[in-house]
Amino acid sequence: MGLKHGWLDNAVRCPSPNFGERPAGAVVSLIVLHNISLPPGEFATQAVTDFFLNRLDAAAHPYFAEICDLQVSAHFYIARDGALTQFVNTDQRAWHAGQSCWQGRENCNDFSIGIELAGSDDTPFAAAQYATLWPLIEALRQRYPITAIAGHSDVAPGRKTDPGPCFDWPAVAVRHPDLCLP
């Protein structure tokens, strides 16, 4: 797995319009992990892709009508089968964390990479997802001076709960003992 010009060579590219430039001098030092299921509790990859590309059909599900006008994205999405999709160049600012703060720094989108995993707070993640996540983290660490990995719940406490209690934080700690974790 290698990142060339901000694009991972083995990910499916689906460029989202929901991104911006990072502020001048911003250094990518944080990975933020999320979970997503659309509609809630269902793991349809196409719905997530459509959501990040601003083409979610509001009539397809009542929940979609509530969120179809949101403009959000993540750098990466890992499906239940481990398939990896990249929506935003890692040198760009994806819109994944919203109002957020990590270790006193506001606006985590400015200095983070967002990774969405197909899942929910009460569903264990699949082994195939971890098999994709581990080398993805390594590739990001080779390109950026990553010092921490946090959950969305850690950068937006009280507002977000993902990646949820089923995420295997001990495995992250074993693989990356030098990183700051929640």
Catalytic positions, please?
116
Q: What is the dihedral of CA 99, 19, 92, 95, to 10 degrees?
A: 30
Contacts of 59 (CB under 8 A, 6+ apart): 65
> 25-63: buried (b, 16+ CB within 10 Å) or exposed (e) per residue?
eeebbbbbbbbbbbeeeebeeebbbbbbeeebeeeebeb
CB 113 within 8 A of CB 32: yes
Contacts of 6 (CB under 8 A, 6+ apart): 89, 90, 91, 92
Place of tokens 């992250």: 172
What three-state secondary structure class fits 93?
A: strand
